[in-house]
């Protein structure tokens, strides 16, 4: 019922993009009533909506615009009659003003646009209210209580992650200090804020949070209250959760810290939280919002649906909202455990849950799968393998051409910084073997760099997001060890 109403009363009448989709494929929107019916529609991909130099405003066709012509020509008769009666009672100008307030965009976020022009997604006041509702659910799922304080080290940016956290604070009446991350205050400033605020909750990008806590540990900062770390914008391997929890324990966190992953993407305009047992040995998955979203899990090659709990690509459909709305959007993200519908063993909630093990397209810029020496490789696979290499303090993978010659073969170079008293050669062999066993490919070489140099290469204090995996095959030659 929600799907049918949304498509017929909102999406088809007011979205120029989806009206074209329905009309070009000769699909009657009134016949889309269930998820099974949705499969009659083509997928929407990033290539369909991303701006181009020739069409920089393509994404604006996703925005719902209830102008007079759209209402007259495309809205259901019942909607037109309702607006007409409201106009007779309250006056046409009043109705027009209400529609403007309800549908006029007030906020915008952007995709990162690492390999293409950033795509804008617009929010109305209604959408921003929903961001607050979702924020309250997120922080409650993580175990926050009234009176908790939080430190947000996500970068200041027109990106979903920062604004979702901003909405968390407003919706939960929680005191959140937003530092802007390493690029704004530097790690020294963030560590000082951590020490002064002594928050119960720390929120940010996994790589930067680990970097900041590691430096705070070296400075003998004590964590008097910390109990929750919430991480977004990247996949959070189980081994990294355990590493962060152990680091916090060594810094005096009194009750043990639980690390939660948060999954979100710009096109959905909100995020989903993870229900995680205190042991970090497993995850109960990301809890979804059935009244706001529909998720399909499909075979990434064929596009056909897979069964509950089966590996597949995440496809997203909006069920409500105004602003920029998408239907059957292929995220490119792969959920290793698919989606499950049983009640959550952790909290008892009965909403559908996405597998925590998600290989995210955004983890490696905009290329998830790339050919290395003729073999298709999922570079996301490096993340969990490297998280389990406890002797490695930091790392960066660079895909490049031999001798930076565009006509040469591809090569993988893994740069690592290691802890004290580590047998580097033995460690290199073990990492290479683990990567080969997991991914069926290993780096051409592994080089040890000083930690300070690798932190600079990663851009931990200078970039919006650390440059963990870099494809340099189309970049001018750079000095060795300076990707």
Residue 424 three-state SS:
helix
Q: With both helix axes pointing from N to C terminus, report the angle between 206-218 and 238-250 in degrees, rounded to the nearest 10.
A: 20
Alpha-carbon distance 210 to 9, whole Å? 46
Residue 78 pLDDT: 79
Q: With both helix axes pointing from N to C terminus, report the angle between 92-103 and 125-141 in degrees, rounded to the nearest 10.
A: 40
Alpha-carbon distance 320 to 292, whole Å? 6
Residue 415 pLDDT: 93
DSSP bridge pairs for 177: 151
Fold classification of 369-471 is GMP Synthetase; Chain A, domain 3 (3.30.300)
Assign 3-class secondary structure to 263-276: EEEHHHCEEEEECC
Residue 474: which residues within 8 A CB-CB, separation 6 or more?
Answer: none
Residue 376 pLDDT: 55
Say if strands 358-359 and 369-372 run parallel, antiparallel, or are unpaired. Answer: unpaired
Residue 368 pLDDT: 43
Residue 313 pLDDT: 94
Q: Show pLDDT as tens, one digit a residue, over the chain (483 residues).
A: 789 999 998 999 999 999 999 999 999 999 998 888 999 999 999 989 988 888 888 889 999 998 888 888 887 777 777 777 877 788 878 777 888 888 999 999 988 755 457 889 999 999 999 999 999 999 989 888 888 999 999 988 889 999 999 999 888 888 999 999 888 888 899 999 999 999 999 999 888 999 899 999 999 999 999 999 999 888 788 888 888 988 999 999 887 899 999 999 999 999 999 987 766 667 889 999 999 999 999 999 899 999 999 999 999 999 998 999 999 999 989 999 999 999 998 888 999 999 988 876 544 443 444 545 555 566 777 888 888 888 899 999 988 777 766 666 778 889 999 988 888 889 988 988 888 888 777 888 899 999 989 988 888 887 777 788 887 776 644 444 444
Residue 219 three-state SS:
coil
* DSSP per position, 146-180: TT-EEEEEEESSSSHHHHHHHHHHHHHT-EEEEEE
Q: Where in the chain is the domain with CATH 3.40.50.12780?
A: 125-357
Residue 483 pLDDT: 46
Residue showing tokens 């059957």: 328
The answer to whether 258 touches 282, Cβ cutoff 8 Å, is: no
Query: Measured in Å, how far apart are the chain's first and last C-alpha atoms?
Result: 52
Q: Where in the chain is the domain with CATH 3.30.300.30?
A: 369-471
Enter the CATH code of domain 125-357: 3.40.50.12780
pTM for the full predicted model: 0.83
Residue 271 pLDDT: 95
Residue 28 pLDDT: 93
Say if strands 228-231 and 258-265 run parallel, antiparallel, or are unpaired. Answer: parallel
């Amino acid at each position: 019922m929600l799907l049918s109403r949304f498509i017929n009363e909102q999406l088809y009448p007011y979205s120029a993009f989806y009206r074209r989709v329905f009309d070009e494929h000769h699909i009657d929107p009134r016949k889309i009533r269930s998820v099974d019916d949705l499969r009659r529609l083509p997928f929407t991909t990033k290539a369909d909506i991303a701006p181009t130099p020739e069409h920089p405003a393509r994404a604006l066709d996703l925005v719902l615009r209830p102008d007079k012509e759209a209402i007259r020509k495309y809205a259901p008769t019942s909607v037109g009659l309702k607006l007409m009666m409201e106009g007779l009672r309250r006056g046409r100008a009043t109705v027009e003003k209400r529609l403007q307030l309800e549908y006029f965009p007030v906020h915008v976020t952007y995709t990162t646009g690492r390999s293409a022009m950033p795509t804008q997604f617009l929010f109305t006041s209604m959408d921003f209210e929903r961001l607050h509702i979702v924020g309250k659910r997120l922080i409650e799922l993580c175990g926050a209580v009234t009176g908790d304080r939080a430190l947000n080290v996500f970068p200041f940016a027109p990106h979903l992650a920062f604004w979702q956290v901003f909405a968390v604070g407003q919706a939960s009446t929680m005191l959140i200090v937003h530092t802007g991350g390493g690029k704004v205050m530097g790690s020294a400033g963030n560590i000082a804020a951590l020490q002064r605020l002594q928050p119960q909750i720390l929120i940010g990008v996994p790589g930067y949070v680990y970097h900041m806590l590691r430096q705070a540990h070296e400075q003998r900062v004590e964590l008097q209250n910390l109990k929750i770390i919430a991480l977004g914008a990247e996949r959070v391997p189980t081994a990294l959760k355990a590493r962060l929890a152990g680091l916090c324990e060594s810094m005096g966190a009194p009750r043990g810290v639980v690390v939660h992953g948060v999954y979100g993407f710009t096109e959905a305009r909100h995020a989903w939280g993870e229900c995680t047992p205190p042991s970090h040995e497993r995850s109960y998955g990301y809890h979804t919002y059935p009244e706001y979203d529909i998720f399909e899990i499909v075979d990434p090659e064929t596009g056909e649906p897979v069964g509950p709990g089966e590996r597949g690509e995440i496809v997203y459909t909006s069920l409500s909202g105004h602003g920029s709305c998408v239907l059957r959007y292929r995220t490119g993200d792969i959920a290793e455990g698919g989606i499950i519908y049983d009640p959550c063993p952790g909290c008892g909630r009965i909403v559908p849950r996405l597998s925590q093990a998600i290989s995210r397209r955004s983890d490696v810029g905009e290329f998830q799968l790339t050919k290395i020496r003729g073999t298709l490789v999922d570079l996301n696979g490096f993340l969990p393998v490297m998280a389990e290499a406890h002797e490695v303090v930091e790392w960066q993978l660079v895909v490049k051409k031999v001798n930076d010659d565009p006509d040469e073969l591809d090569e993988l170079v893994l740069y690592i910084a290691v802890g004290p008293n580590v047998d580097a050669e033995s460690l290199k062999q073990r990492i290479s073997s683990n990567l080969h066993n997991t991914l069926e490919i290993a780096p051409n070489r592994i080089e040890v760099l000083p930690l300070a140099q690798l932190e600079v290469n990663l851009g931990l204090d200078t970039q919006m997001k650390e440059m963990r995996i870099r494809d340099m095959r189309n970049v001018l030659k750079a000095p060795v060890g300076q990707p």
